[in-house]
């Protein structure tokens, strides 16, 4: 089923299961031993996503809120194709860039410069594109001389700055952001928010997971509340955030 006009992402009835076996062998030796034991073959299913359906239009900023363990990060990873889903259908139109966890795909031994090149290639940029954008990326990340040191020497704020700088230069149509905007000083947060708003005006779609409800209220055109893998509510930010957390005090827009 193809996407209708203006639709960039559609999830249809997406389920994801973690199956925990009673005794899971982590080595061949254990597997061999357990094969001959009768009672090791029971399992427990944990459904991280249960029947999530979602349709995102171009230019929307969708916020995901919910308690820890409600499936928000799992949802982003399934959309990014980092985790497989157990059932359902996802259709993506356009280029996808992700900002999941600090150090998104950074190899600790490589320098910042080398990691930019590597991540550019992973996100689908050609070598010439990376070369063209390199200066702008380094400028935005504002790491100074640290760009030439191995990233294992970076602080968490620096990881985030580098990751963010790369992700926004990929010219992605859809950007997935997972709870990392909280890290980073006030000045960089302002820079990020300004850049995100600029991207949104240019038609980039954003999917943001965050616990900073005031930021979600400010930035998002739509908010979805996930609880234990199910969509509890979706709609106007103010309403949904009020449902999710009745005691929250939201900034007036």
Partner 1 sequence: MQYNVVPPEPWRAPVYQCEGEANIWSDWRKTATLVKHLTRRHLAARYRGSALGFVWSLLNPLLLMGVYTFVFSMIFRTTVPGVPYHVFFLTGILAWNFMSTAATNAAVSLVDWAPLLKKAAFPRLVLPLSAVLSNAINYVVTLPLLLLFNVLFGIVPTLSLLLLPGVLLLLVLMATGVGLLLAALMPFFRDLQHLIEALFTIWLFLTPVLYPMTLVTQNFPASLLPLYTLNPMVDIMRLVHAVFLGQPWPGWSLAVAVAEVLCLLSLSLWVFQRLALRVSET
Contact residue for partner 1 among 40, 55, 58, 83 (CB under 8 A): 83
Q: Which residue has the tokens 């689908």?
A: 124
* Alpha-carbon dihedral sign for residues 220, 225, 228, 230: negative
Please, which residues bridge with residue 209 across strands? 64, 178
Q: How far is the CB of 162 from partner 1 (least distance, A)?
A: 13
Given a contact cutoff of 8 angstroms between Cβ atoms, the answer to whether 92 and 12 are in contact is no
Contact residue for partner 1 among 42, 84, 135, 144 (CB under 8 A): 84
- Does residue number 164 form part of the binding site for partner 1 (CB under 8 A)? no
- Does residue number 245 form part of the binding site for partner 1 (CB under 8 A)? no
- Does residue number 251 form part of the binding site for partner 1 (CB under 8 A)? no
* Alpha-carbon dihedral sign for residues 229, 232, 236, 239: negative
- Does residue number 236 form part of the binding site for partner 1 (CB under 8 A)? no
Q: How far is the CB of 247 from partner 1 (least distance, A)?
A: 22
- Does residue number 127 form part of the binding site for partner 1 (CB under 8 A)? yes
| Contact region with partner 1 (CB under 8 A), list: 18-26, 33-41, 140-148, 209-217 | 18-26
Given a contact cutoff of 8 angstroms between Cβ atoms, the answer to whether 222 and 193 are in contact is no
Q: How far is the CB of 154 from partner 1 (least distance, A)?
A: 14
Q: Which helix (H) or strand (E) holds 226?
A: strand 222-227
From CA 175, how far away is CA 179, in angstroms rounded? 13
- Does residue number 55 form part of the binding site for partner 1 (CB under 8 A)? no
| 3-state class (DSSP) for residue 197 | helix
| 3-state class (DSSP) for residue 163 | helix
- The count of other CB atoms within 10 Å of the CB of residue 38 is 6
- Does residue number 183 form part of the binding site for partner 1 (CB under 8 A)? no
From CA 73, how far away is CA 82, in angstroms rounded? 11
| Contact region with partner 1 (CB under 8 A), list: 153-161, 181-189, 207-215, 228-236 | 228-236
21 vs 155 by CB, closer to partner 1: 21
- Does residue number 58 form part of the binding site for partner 1 (CB under 8 A)? no
15 vs 113 by CB, closer to partner 1: 15
Question: How is residue 219 written in tokens?
Answer: 């930035």
| Contact region with partner 1 (CB under 8 A), list: 54-62, 95-103, 135-143, 211-219 | 95-103
- Does residue number 190 form part of the binding site for partner 1 (CB under 8 A)? no
Given a contact cutoff of 8 angstroms between Cβ atoms, the answer to whether 129 and 169 are in contact is no
Contact residue for partner 1 among 134, 195, 228, 238 (CB under 8 A): 228
* Alpha-carbon dihedral sign for residues 193, 197, 199, 203: positive
In this structure, what are the phi and psi dihedrals at residue 115, rounded to the nearest 5 degrees? -70, -35
Contact residue for partner 1 among 34, 86, 149, 243 (CB under 8 A): 86
Q: Which residues would be at the binding site for partner 1 (CB under 8 A)?
A: 2-3, 13, 15, 18, 25-29, 31, 45-47, 50-51, 77, 80-96, 98, 100-101, 103-110, 117-119, 121-124, 126-127, 173, 228-230
């Amino acid at each position: 089923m193809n996407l209708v006009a203006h639709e960039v992402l559609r999830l249809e009835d997406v389920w994801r299961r973690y199956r925990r076996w009673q005794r899971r062998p982590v080595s061949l030796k254990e597997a061999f031993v357990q094969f001959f034991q009768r009672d090791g073959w029971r399992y427990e299913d944990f459904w991280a996503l249960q029947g999530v359906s979602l349709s995102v239009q171009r230019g929307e900023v969708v916020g995901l809120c919910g308690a820890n363990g409600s499936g928000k990060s799992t949802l982003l990873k399934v959309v990014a194709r980092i985790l497989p889903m157990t059932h359902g259908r996802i259709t993506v139109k356009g280029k996808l860039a992700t900002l999941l966890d600090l150090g998104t795909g950074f190899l600790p031994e490589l320098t910042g410069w080398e990691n930019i090149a590597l991540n550019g290639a992973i996100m689908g940029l050609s070598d010439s594109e990376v070369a063209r954008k390199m200066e702008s990326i380094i400028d935005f990340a504002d790491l100074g001389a640290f760009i030439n040191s191995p990233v294992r020497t970076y602080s968490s704020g620096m990881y985030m700055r580098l990751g963010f700088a790369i992700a926004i230069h990929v010219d992605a149509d859809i950007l997935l952001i997972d709870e990392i905007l909280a890290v980073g000083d006030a000045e960089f947060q302002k820079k990020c928010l300004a850049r995100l708003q600029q991207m949104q005006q240019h038609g980039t779609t954003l999917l943001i997971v965050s616990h900073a409800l005031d930021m979600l209220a400010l930035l998002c055109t739509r908010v979805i509340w996930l609880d234990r893998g199910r969509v509890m509510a979706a709609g106007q930010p103010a309403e949904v955030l009020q449902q999710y957390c009745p005691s929250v005090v939201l900034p007036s827009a």
